[in-house]
Amino acid sequence: MFVFCSEVGVKYIIPKKIITNKKGEPSEFLELANRYSVSREAYAQKNLFYKRAVDEIAQGDDRVHIIDPIDVFCDKRRCPMTDVNGSFYEDHHHLSFHGFARLEPLFEPIFAKMDQMSEDE
């Protein structure tokens, strides 16, 4: 079984203490950081070639599952880098633990299918 996960947005690590104030509320920095996030349209355009290539590879092969995190990390307009719980990224290309945890719901059906396949064997 293969899983492909495409990249989202511009990524920089942002420590939690910077994105919240002493009360744990969103800081002005959080708003500023997310204002400079990539647009959903730019994300889609940036990944168009990759998405087409992976779709072509996966076509007709039920062992390949494509995970596109756009709906996890982006709203209708923007793909923010962080939320009040922390940065989604460790560096330019790698998710932080917080970012990866947001993907968990996307993996659940894949793992369930893997479990079913192993039971059927």
3-state helix, strand, coil in the chain (%, to 5): 50, 15, 35
Measured on CA atoms in the order 79, 80, 81, 85, is the torsion positive or negative?
negative
In this prediction, residue 41 carries a pLDDT of 92
Burial of 19 (0-12, 13-18, 19+ CB in 10 A): buried
Q: What is the pTM of this model?
A: 0.63
Q: Which two tokens stand for residue 22?
A: 């002493």
Higher pLDDT, 7 or 51: 51
Give residue-wise pLDDT tens across range 12-50.
445 555 666 677 776 677 777 777 788 899 988 888 888
Higher pLDDT, 79 or 4: 79
In this prediction, residue 76 carries a pLDDT of 92
For residue 20, give every residue at least 6 positions away whose Cβ sits within 8 Å of its Cβ, in sequence order, or none: 26, 27, 30, 84
Higher pLDDT, 40 or 2: 40
Among 42-51, 57-66, 73-82, name the one with the lowest average pLDDT. 57-66
CA dist., res. 36 & res. 1, Å (int): 37
In this prediction, residue 19 carries a pLDDT of 60
